[in-house]
Amino acid sequence: SYRFYRSTDDGATWTSKATPGEAADDIVKLYAANLADTNDIWAVYFDVSANQISLKTYDDSANSWSEDMISSAGGITESTTHPWAAFDAAVRHSDGHLLLAYWSSFDTAGSDLVTWDITDGSSMTQMTDYSTNFDDMGYVAVFINQQNDDVYIAQFGNDAGTDIAGTSWGAYYKVSTDGMSTWGSQTTYLASEDDHRGISAGHS
């Protein structure tokens, strides 16, 4: 089960707080919230059983969580053996927006890598898909060049669909210079194909 704690003394002591978790196999990633209270937190929350992805907001003053659905139809289905690979996000420092990418499905024909620009729980804008209707692709990492706001998204599997997902695939990325409105061509990051099972990037 989930536990959520806060330390205000560099980890010397910890205080239990309200948890965002609902089920043991759900996936949570925490980010700094773009809110007036700098102690508030965002959690991108993947409800595995419901196939839904949402934004949960932690109100530090009230010690409580609220939830806003990112996609009203859920919009995400993921292999139960790779649920943590379904999404990634990063905070853009210039405006505090949370930039999110998630797979509509894992390693299936018709998979889309969907992107969102999130201002807060009441303002979420779906941006241009990184990829649309591709098989043999999966996993995702979001990186923002905080100097110029370029957005990089990396994933396994090429958009030609010639890799064999989960068995032998390389690493690739695309860059958006306009806030995920358009994407450049796919660039090979790791040409040697292997049974890779994790991809990540720093957030600044």
Least confident of 28-42, 69-83, 150-164, 165-179: 69-83
What is the distance between the alpha carbons of residues 18 and 65, in angstroms, rounded to a whole number? 7
pLDDT digits (tens, 9 = 90+) for 33-63: 999 999 999 999 988 888 888 999 999 999 9
pLDDT digits (tens, 9 = 90+) for 101-153: 998 877 677 788 899 999 999 999 999 999 888 777 788 999 999 999 999 99
Q: According to the model, what pLDDT value does residue 83 have? A: 63
What is the distance between the alpha carbons of residues 88 and 101, in angstroms, rounded to a whole number? 6
Token couple for 132: 């649309």
* C-alpha distance from residue 48 to each of 73, 93, 147, 161, 175 (Å): 14, 30, 35, 26, 29
Average pLDDT, the chain: 86
Checking if the pLDDT of 165 tops 80, the result is no
Strand ranges, E, within the chain:
4-6, 15-17, 27-32, 41-47, 52-59, 64-69, 87-91, 98-103, 111-120, 123-126, 131-134, 138-145, 150-156, 169-176, 187-194
